Structure 1
Amino acid sequence: MRFPWISRPAAANGGDAVVLVTWFRLKDSWRSPGFMLHSLLLWWQALRSPGLLGIAIEAHPFRGTFWTLSAWTDRRSLSAYTRTDPHGAAMDRIRPWMDEFERVSWTLPTADLPHTPTARPLWTDAAERVTQERRSRTSL
């Protein structure tokens, strides 16, 4: 199940965006409906948050895995979103449901952000970054 990439107007200065990918694996897939509900509320919050440039979600509820992909004008905007409720309260509630969690961020020129709902190149890059992060954690 995918919620397509929704773009917001890029910053006028044409600078860099902060891209964030998160990957979650739940301890039990029966938690998926509740997790999806929280995801939709947070997606709705993000769409109204200052600094959002784009967002997409990919969910595999029967496997209990979820991905989010977003781009922000700067780290301050991203931080404000993650600390503001309902996001802050939701994370406190769902953190015990998680078996695994990865969060990777990087910068990208705003001109390179997706212009199509699939956002395929950005999703591919994000998946590779999560895989690298997971490998680096297990090799320690």
Structure 2
Amino acid sequence: MPTLPWTVPNTPPAGVEVHVFASRFETRTLWGALKFFLRTPGVWRQVSRAPGAYGATLKAQPLRRTFWTLSAWESPQALRAFARSGPHAPTARGLAPQMKDAKFVTWTAKSEELPLDWAEATRRLS
């Protein structure tokens, strides 16, 4: 799967601070990677309609069992609302046993810095 391009569900106002979230997941097995891969479209559709989502992208290396997400949100509350609803909530719970490793980081950025850069996310996840 190639990197999914930066998608903008909602355009942020100019000059505002946005909440950035990045994650890295590694599954225990290729079967776990396949499950992650197959559940991605539903969660991707959810983020494309999520209130408070200012942008998102996904990078996947299924044969290496590794997936990364990078997103920008109106607030931490908007991110939490997304994570606890729609397809994301049951997908996250269902995939938890498949995970070997997961790492999450957050920071703030200015809306003018969107779309976000993978290099910065990778650095922060290291």
Normalised by the length of structure 2, the TM-score is 0.93
Give the superposition deviation at 1:8. 3.8
Q: For each residue in 1:41-94, what CA deviation from the matched residue of structure 2 results, as whole angstroms up to 9, or x when unmatched?
A: 111101111011111110000000000111111111111000113111111100
2:122 aligned with 1:127, yes or no?
yes
Q: For each residue in 1:10-40, what CA deviation from the matched residue of structure 2 results, as whole angstroms up to 9, or x when unmatched?
A: 3325211111111000000222221112222
SS in 2 for 1:62: helix
Contact preservation (8 Å) 1:20, 1:69:
yes
Q: Where does residue 82 of structure 1 map in the other structure?
A: 83
Contact preservation (8 Å) 2:25, 2:102:
yes
Distance 1:15 1:9, change over 3 A: same
Distance 1:49 1:9, change over 3 A: closer
Gaps of at least 5 residues in structure 1 are: 132-140
* Identity among equivalent pairs (%): 32
One-letter code of the match for 2:86? Answer: D
Q: Where does residue 108 of structure 1 map in the other structure?
A: 109
Query: Highest CA radius of gyration, 1 or 2?
Result: 1
One-letter code of the match for 2:109? Answer: L
Contact preservation (8 Å) 2:9, 2:49:
no
Q: Where does residue 48 of structure 1 map in the other structure?
A: 49
SS in 1 for 2:106: strand
| Poorly superposed stretches of 4+, deviation over 3 Å | none
Contact preservation (8 Å) 1:10, 1:110:
no
Give the superposition deviation at 1:104. 0.5
- State the superposition RMSD in angstroms: 1.3
Gaps of at least 5 residues in structure 2 are: none
Normalised by the length of structure 1, the TM-score is 0.84
2:5 aligned with 1:4, yes or no?
yes
Contact preservation (8 Å) 2:22, 2:70:
yes
Higher mean Cα deviation, 5-14 or 88-97? 5-14
